[in-house]
Amino acid sequence: MLTKDYPIHEKLEVLQGTSHHQISDLEAELAQLRAFKDELQKYVRELEQTNDDLERAKRATVVSLEDFESRLNQAIERNAFLESELDEKETLAITVQRMKDEARDLRHELDAQSRTDSSRNYNTNSLNGAEGIGENDVGTQVVMHKDRLLSVDGDLTQADSSQTTPAKGTREQTSIVPKLCKRPAPR
């Protein structure tokens, strides 16, 4: 029996050695595959972490961009408001300058008219020997005394700037321009 079982026993040992060798190779390959799988899982986790970080950064960037757009819009609105204020200021400055020029022209006109009227009244009064009482071209009564304006339409005033107190029976008036020339405002 030993003779007959010997080749089978030998074959069994050969097969066991071969299968043991294959099992060892397969176990080594399995270990390598498991290590590779672990590396891949680690790499996937790192990619997921990087992806999460990128998504957080994207959300933060979107929020920052929205905030920046909001501030930019506010700055644009503020600049538009300031530009309109500046335009309004320039318009008002032009209007003020035009009114100053108009007031200056009216004063010059009034001075010229007063000089003309006072010289006319002075010459008339010199001939008549009376105080200067007359009307100017716009129908306003002007009372002159020795080249000084005393009354305009019944409002008594002293035109001599060297005297600081009004004469007896007169009222001091600082400006007679509005009473003499009432023109409509320019459009």
Cα 96–Cα 186–Cα 153 angle in degrees, nearest 5: 95
Q: What is the number of structural domains in the chain?
A: 1
CA distances from 47 to 33, 36, 41, 51, 60 (A): 20, 16, 10, 6, 20
Domain for residue 36, yes or no?
Answer: no
Q: Is residue 176 predicted with pLDDT exceeding 50?
A: no
Q: Containing domain of residue 135, as a range?
A: 94-180
104-151 pLDDT, tens per residue?
A: 999 999 999 888 877 776 666 555 554 444 444 444 545 544 445 444
* pLDDT of 69 strictly over 60: yes
Q: Tokens 């961009």 belong to which residue?
A: 65
DSSP conformational letter for 129: T
Residue 4 lies in a domain: no
Q: Is residue 9 part of a domain?
A: no
Q: Is residue 131 part of a domain?
A: yes
The answer to whether residue 68 is domain-embedded is: no
Q: Is the pTM of this model over 0.75?
A: no
Q: Is residue 148 part of a domain?
A: yes
Q: Are 134 and 124 in contact (CB under 8 A)?
A: yes
Does residue 57 sit within a domain?
A: no
